[in-house]
Amino acid sequence: MKTRILMVCLGNICRSPLAEGILKSKINPQEIVVDSAGTSDYHVDDCPDPRSVSIAKENNLDITSQRGRQFSVEDFDSFDKIYVMDMANYRDVISKARNEKDRNKVSLILNEIFPGENVEVPDPYHGGADGFKRVYQMLNEACEVIAKKHQ
Ligand code: 4NP
């Protein structure tokens, strides 16, 4: 059975598309399925933010084929692990959980590199390119750890 991993942020256009693209580049797609979603419906069917596309491209990743979609309760059945970017995402996803099994699937992604510290991936939407670079670096480190876990 393949392991199924879902990356979640608010809009599904800045952070989680990067997390999806980065993790996909580090794993064997025969063994792991990676997808992303947003807690909001603000950007359903939208392309990733051009600033995420740009920082991905600088790192030889193409995320342009991704499209925004909203997280739904069925995602608890479709995925084994759900990584969220910040505490607001965590609360929104947990509020849809039906039971302890669902709740146990949800973690802040940076807890993979800073266990138990609940460090957030900052929302870069209202900032400049620097914020996207920093987000990329954080997600790259976290995805390295996640990929190693599944080797
Ligand atoms: P994301 O960033 O959650 O990393 O995709 C955002 C994208 C859009 C909005 C907020 C955050 N928005 O308010 O439209």
Domain that holds residue 15: 3-149
Residues 6+ apart with CB under 8 A from 151: none
Cα–Cα distance, 41 to 17 (Å, whole number)? 15
For residues 75 and 82, the answer to whether their CB atoms sit within 8 Å is: yes
Domain containing residue 17: CATH number: 3.40.50.2300
Examine the pLDDT at 151 and tell me if it is beyond 90.
no
Nearest to 9 by CA among 103, 110, 117: 110
The residue whose CA is least distant from atom 8 of ligand 1 is 11
pTM of the shown model: 0.98
- What pLDDT does residue 143 have? 99
The tens digit of pLDDT for each residue in 80-139 reads 999 999 999 999 999 999 999 999 999 999 999 999 999 999 999 999 999 999 999 999
* Residue 14 Cα to ligand 1 middle (Å): 6
**Cβ of 125 less than 6 Å from ligand 1:** yes
* Residue 98 Cα to ligand 1 middle (Å): 26
Q: Which of 9, 49, 75, 86 is catalytic?
A: 9
For residues 78 and 1, the answer to whether their CB atoms sit within 8 Å is: no
For residues 12 and 70, the answer to whether their CB atoms sit within 8 Å is: yes
Cα–Cα distance, 145 to 35 (Å, whole number)? 17
The tens digit of pLDDT for each residue in 3-38 reads 999 999 999 999 999 999 999 999 999 999 999 999
Place of tokens 């190693």: 148
Structural domain count, the chain: 1
Name the residue of 8, 12, 13 whose CB sits within 8 Å of the most ligand 1 atoms, as the mutation to test its pocket.
13
